[in-house]
Structure 1
Amino acid sequence: MNSFNTYLSANKRCVRKVGTDLCAIIILGIPVFVLFLVGQPYKRGFNCDDESIRYPYKDNTITSVVNYLYSTLIPIITIIIVEIVYHRKAIQNYNQSQDPDDSTGLNKMPANTDLLWQIYCRLAPFIFGALISQLTTDIAKYTIGRLRPHFIDVCKPEISDGTRFTIQTGCQGYEYRYITDYQCTSIEFNDHRKRDAHLSFMSGHSSFVAYCLVYLVIYLQVRLRWSALGFIRPLYQTLLIYLVIYTGFTRISDYKHHWSDVLIGLLQGLVVAILSTVFISDLFATRTRIVGCPTTAAAELTDSYGTNSQSTGIIHQSPKRHPNYDSCKVEMDENLRLYDNDINI
């Protein structure tokens, strides 16, 4: 009865946590959505003879949709696969440690609920960090309003005296003049594309793909410690980094961004990924470890600080550091957390 009550208490705690997580995600997501729909960038002036904004418009090598798809799906699918394999091996190891004569079934870990919660606790910090990276990028874009390399071609600005600038015309009489009073008169491009011509800094493609794939690289480094894989893990990590770099390079070759936009975007994604894995996720949280075979139900094994709770196993406490993201997992899958450190596939 005590284990049942503890399990219900854990469920309530986890429901509250999911609710607060969703609220935080929505709070971050709303300004991203609003800026995308109705945001107006700062209208920055230009020098007509600035060669860095007189490139022709080119279609994207990697569209925004494709970039968002592979940046999110690759980490999500990889994390789910790793957690499923990890969980099955942990269940197998745990069940093998139980008393074969036990007919109550209390010591069997609840595989499905534990697995779903484990996956949630890996993916939720990833999604939260992705929104942080995206919102940071959008704030920079709309407040700075840096002109894209194809600005003149897309906008075809016209000033008050009727002079119209294109990439084919020169700047006679307007050399070294900073122009702030102009209107975009291009008929080849819609208003969305003209607005987008003011959103060069920083590169959204670069920052988002850098965040998502660097987060995955760190996750694999910390979580995937299977000796049988050999060089498979570093090979996969290397390919992910190459994809990040390639994405950034295409933004320069497509004349969508200046090289500095891409560089800062990559650095921003890298920094947010590191901060998210360290301070938001539980990847680096100190784990409590067990020596011996506990004989009570998973819900009664231990609390979040590693104190013994009706278990015959010997619990050794690591230096105290509270798991900073999934502390409500204690009663539901503490056994998985305790045993997965010892998995060797």
Structure 2
Amino acid sequence: MALSTNAKDWLTVAIFIVLFFYYFEYLQPFQRQFRLDDSTLQHPFAKVERVTDNELYLYCSLVPTVVIGVVQFLRTKLCGPVSGGASENWSLSATNRALLGLWVSVVAAACVTDVLKVWIARPRPDFLERCGAVAGTPLHTYVSTEVCTAPLGQMYVADGMKSTPLGHLSMAFAGLFYLTLWLGRHGRFPKASALTTFIVRTLPSLLAAYIAFSRTQDYRHHFFDVLLGLTIGILFAWGCYVKYHGVSN
């Protein structure tokens, strides 16, 4: 596959990266009502997160990009010709296809997740601390964000209505589960033991799982958010792997 074949796909990826950071991330959620006596919303606000947004972007996109590049380089140098003719052109084409599948998976999952967040607009477990309801607000009556004093800032109140699905997880699995699938077919080295190969293939998905549960430990998400985020991430990773590699593992 010539590198120029996927130029439009790469352009689309670039456009949606810009849209994600400058449009989708700033969408305002539906103002869903809540109650102050809802115990699922009374958890503390974690000022220090176990996995920050910037760390997420590193883990879900840049780390898999580097791993794919290194593995492709090593396969070409150490394993010699593959399928009757691995060459520099083959290596560049295969690497381009692998990276394109990765970035399409991550960007698509990120944008879809942001849209679902503002449609569903479920309050986060730490929402009531973000809200800081005015004194005298009824405990057992549904109210809106109009009662919020926003002690942490208005942006934290809006973000507090974006719990479902878990964006860290959908993006993490979109990138890291894609990497697991890719390594299952392309990360094979003749001298590596079966155990080593299994561990290498499994590590990306284990990292994604850690990211998911770190968000529940920070009280940023409910467990249902984990399930939906996992589903989105796996579907995009699987779909993009099949699309750009023709077969699944």
TM-score, normalised to structure 1, is: 0.65
- What secondary structure sits across from 1:157 in the alignment? coil
Q: Is the counterpart of residue 85 in structure 1 residue 74 in structure 2? A: yes
Larger RCO of the pair (alpha carbons < 8 Å, separation 6+): 2
Alpha-carbon distance in 2 for matches of 1:129, 1:260: 22
Please identify which structure carries the higher helix content: 2
RMSD value, Cα: 2.5
* Residue 219 (structure 1) aligned with residue 207 (structure 2): no
Indicate which of 206, 213, 231 corresponds to 2:169.
206
1:122 corresponds, among 98, 103, 113, to 98
What pairs with 1:132-171 in structure 2 (closer than 5 Å)? 132-158=108-134, 163-164=136-137
| Rounded Cα–Cα distance in structure 1 between residues aligned with 2:241 and 2:82 | 28
Q: CA deviation at 1:91?
A: 4.5
AA paired with 1:208? M
- Give 1:242-281 correspondences, 5 Å limit: 242-278=206-242, 280-281=243-244
Relative distance call for 1:195 and 1:83 in structure 2 (3 A) is same
One-letter identity of the residue aligned with 1:213 = L
* 1:75 maps onto 2:51 in alignment: no
Residue 26 (structure 1) shift: 3.6
Match of 1:299 in 2: none
CA shift, 1:125, in A, is 1.4
Give the strand-richer structure, 1 or 2: 1
Task: Rate the CA distance shift 1:49–1:134 in 2: closer, same or farther, 3 A.
Answer: same
Give the percent of matched residue pairs that are identical in Structure 1 and Structure 2.
25
Match of 2:30? Answer: 42
State the shift of 1:186 in Å: 2.5
Letter in 2 for 1:143: W
> Cα distance, 1:14 vs. partner?
4.2
Larger radius of gyration: 1
Structure 1 alignment gaps of length 5 or more: 1-9, 96-108, 165-172, 286-345
User: Measured at CA, do residues 69 and 38 of structure 1 come closer, stay the same or move farther in structure 2, by a change above 3 Å?
Assistant: same
- Provide the rounded CA distance (Å) in 2 between the counterparts of 1:274 and 1:126: 10
Change (3 A) 1:182 1:215: same
Displacement, 1:163?
3.0
Q: Which whole-Å CA distance do the structure 1 matches of 2:50 and 2:42 have between them?
A: 19
1:241 aligns to 2:241 (yes or no): no
Contact 2:69 2:95 in 1 (8 A): yes
Give the deviation of 1:254 after TM superposition: 0.7
Distance 1:22 1:145 in 2: 31
Residue aligning to 2:13 = 25
Residues 144/76 of structure 1: CA separation in 2 closer, same or farther (3 Å cut): same
Question: How many aligned residue pairs are there?
Answer: 245
Contiguous gaps of at least 5 residues in structure 2: none
Contact 2:109 2:233 in 1 (8 A): yes
Please report how far the alpha carbon of residue 128 of structure 1 lies from its aligned counterpart in structure 2 after TM superposition: 0.9
> Which is worse superposed, 128-137 or 29-38?
29-38
Alpha-carbon contact 1:147-1:199 (below 8 Å) kept: yes
**CA distances 1:266-310 after superposition (whole Å, capped 9, x unpaired):** 1211121111111x212529xxxxxxxxxxxxxxxxxxxxxxxxx
Structure 2 counterpart of 1:70, one-letter code? Y
